[in-house]
């Protein structure tokens, strides 16, 4: 079953609670012979880490990854790659008030009912801290498929949307601002919006768009391992995600076939790309692009009604240091999972012809 595993040939298995000793994981099936760029991995972790800007949580965690195996003299050996990230800054006392109370729209209630017990400190296993593990594995996967370019960016915050197609954006500008939106005008509005929301002790949702370019034709497997289905599952595994669409997405459901079909041109390219780079579950060489919806963070600095473990109505008031909007720090997570999915299918595809 492997509840805590992701992927097939390239497989990440993880552990760790927000306030335990450490989080970490094991990357299985990573091929031998890849020279590892450790700085690139740490850089991705830094993009995800708390405390990096005024519009994210002010918790400070260095999030330094330590590799424990599978890499020898800087090169992967084909053996399992173990790694861990120490938990250094757990203010457990911030969470003591949650011991016996179910935070609305968190997973406290469902964990308690399912398991009969839970590690309530900082959300325990449900904490998005887990995603740091994914970023490590994804950053490594990127190095396996270095010929593929993966770029995610903030495409909306609340009702502020970039009003351009992604083709008009310069992805090299994504990290130029703290909201990670490559359109400077929209970015400014988004940042202002998040600051205003934060001041209210409230939170806000947003969307991330991800584009994978230079993907070879043939990645993905038909029927139950379609490329977009695995990407969708990956994105829906991220905390706070409520929706996934690729190519024409939900808009495609309003269209007619005659306008939606991607007409072939020479060389197997298509004039339009409403298919989103995937046909029949298999990459066709065009850009793969998709959009991911994130709900507003559930922890707010306002009073909310809730219940305690005995079912009594009570009130809760958010404490601690939380993100007013999860989207800026989720960019590297979206990219990491995309890389893991593509790298897995890249390896699989080596076995599909005799």
Q: Specify the residue, 62 or 222, whose C-beta has the smaller distance to a second copy.
A: 222
Q: Specify the residue, 170 or 233, whose C-beta has the smaller distance to a second copy.
A: 233
d(CA 227, CA 343): 11
| Candidates 55-63, 92-100, 121-129, 166-174; binding stretch for a second copy (CB under 8 A) | 121-129
Rounded to a whole number of angstroms, the minimum distance from the CB of residue 178 to a second copy is 19
Judged by CB under 8 A, the chain residues 32 through 71 that form the site for a second copy are 32-34, 66, 68-70
Which phi-psi region, left, alpha or beta, contains residue 74 (left: φ > 0; alpha: ψ -120 to 50)? Answer: left
Judged by CB under 8 A, the chain residues 163 through 182 that form the site for a second copy are none
Per the CB < 8 A criterion, the answer to whether 331 and 138 are in contact is no
Q: Specify the residue, 170 or 294, whose C-beta has the smaller distance to a second copy.
A: 294
Rounded to a whole number of angstroms, the minimum distance from the CB of residue 131 to a second copy is 10
d(CA 162, CA 233): 25
How many binding residues for a second copy (CB under 8 A)? 147
Rounded to a whole number of angstroms, the minimum distance from the CB of residue 317 to a second copy is 12
Write the interaction track for a second copy spanning residues 7-36; mark x where CB under 8 A is met and - where it is not: -xx-x-xxxxx--xxxxxxx-xx-xxxx--
Q: Specify the residue, 39 or 257, whose C-beta has the smaller distance to a second copy.
A: 257
Q: Specify the residue, 110 or 170, whose C-beta has the smaller distance to a second copy.
A: 110
Per the CB < 8 A criterion, the answer to whether 284 and 278 are in contact is yes
Q: Specify the residue, 6 or 42, whose C-beta has the smaller distance to a second copy.
A: 6
Judged by CB under 8 A, the chain residues 191 through 230 that form the site for a second copy are 197, 200, 202-207, 217-218, 220-226, 228-230
Per the CB < 8 A criterion, the answer to whether 78 and 347 are in contact is no
Q: Where are the alpha helices (DSSP H) in 37-107?
A: 38-48
Write the interaction track for a second copy spanning residues 129-168; mark x where CB under 8 A is met and - where it is not: -x-------------x-----------x-xx---------
Can you tell me which of 99, 164, 302, 317 binds a second copy, judged by CB under 8 A? 302
CA 87, 93, 99, 103 torsion-angle sign: negative
Judged by CB under 8 A, the chain residues 77 through 116 that form the site for a second copy are 77-82, 84, 102, 104-107, 109-111, 113-116
Q: Specify the residue, 94 or 202, whose C-beta has the smaller distance to a second copy.
A: 202
d(CA 351, CA 274): 29
Per the CB < 8 A criterion, the answer to whether 318 and 198 are in contact is no
Q: Residue 7: which residues within 8 A CB-CB, separation 6 or more?
A: 29, 340, 341, 344
Give the residue among 56, 18, 305, 328 at the shortest CA–CA distance from 176. Answer: 328
How far out from the chain centre does Cα 167 lie? 22
Rounded to a whole number of angstroms, the minimum distance from the CB of residue 153 to a second copy is 15
Rounded to a whole number of angstroms, the minimum distance from the CB of residue 172 to a second copy is 25
d(CA 262, CA 272): 5
d(CA 99, CA 102): 8
Judged by CB under 8 A, the chain residues 252 through 271 that form the site for a second copy are 252-258, 260-268, 270
For 330, phi then psi, to 5°, come to -85, -10
Interaction of residue 189 with a second copy, rule CB under 8 A? no
Q: Specify the residue, 172 or 223, whose C-beta has the smaller distance to a second copy.
A: 223
CA 164, 170, 174, 176 torsion-angle sign: negative
Per the CB < 8 A criterion, the answer to whether 160 and 193 are in contact is yes
Judged by CB under 8 A, the chain residues 282 through 301 that form the site for a second copy are 282-284, 293-300
């Amino acid at each position: 079953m492997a509840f805590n595993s992701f992927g097939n040939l390239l497989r990440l298995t993880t552990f760790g609670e927000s306030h335990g000793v450490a989080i970490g994981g094991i990357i299985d099936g990573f091929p031998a012979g890849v020279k590892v760029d450790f700085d690139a991995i740490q850089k991705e972790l830094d993009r995800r880490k708390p405390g990096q800007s005024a519009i994210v949580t002010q918790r400070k965690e260095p999030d330094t990854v330590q590799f424990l195996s599978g890499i020898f003299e800087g090169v992967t050996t084909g053996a399992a790659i173990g790694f861990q990230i120490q938990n250094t800054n757990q203010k457990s006392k911030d969470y003591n008030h949650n011991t016996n109370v179910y935070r609305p729209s968190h997973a406290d209630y469902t964990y308690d009912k399912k398991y009969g017990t839970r590690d309530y400190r900082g959300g325990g296993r449900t904490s998005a801290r887990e995603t740091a593990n994914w970023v490590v594995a994804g950053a490594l996967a990127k190095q396996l498929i270095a010929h593929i370019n993966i770029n995610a960016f903030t495409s909306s915050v609340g009702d502020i949307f970039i009003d351009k197609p992604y083709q008009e954006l310069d992805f090299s500008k994504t990290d130029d601002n703290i909201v990670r939106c490559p359109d400077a005008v929209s970015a400014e509005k988004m940042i202002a919006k998040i600051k205003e929301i934060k001041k209210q002790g409230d939170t806000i949702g947003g969307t991330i768009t991800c584009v994978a370019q230079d993907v070879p034709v043939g990645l993905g497997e038909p029927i139950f391992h379609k490329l977009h289905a695995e990407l969708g599952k990956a994105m829906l595994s991220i905390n706070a995600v409520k929706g996934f669409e690729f190519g024409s997405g939900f808009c495609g459901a309003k269209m007619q076939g005659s306008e939606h079909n991607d007409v072939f041109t020479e060389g197997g390219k298509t004039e339009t790309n409403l298919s989103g780079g995937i046909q029949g579950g298999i990459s066709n060489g065009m850009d793969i692009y998709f959009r991911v919806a994130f709900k507003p963070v559930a922890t707010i600095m306002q009073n909310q009604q809730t219940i305690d473990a005995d079912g009594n109505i009570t009130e809760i008031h958010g404490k601690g240091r939380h993100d007013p909007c999860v989207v800026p720090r989720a960019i590297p997570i979206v990219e990491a999972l995309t890389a893991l999915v593509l790298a897995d299918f890249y390896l699989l595809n080596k076995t599909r012809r005799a």
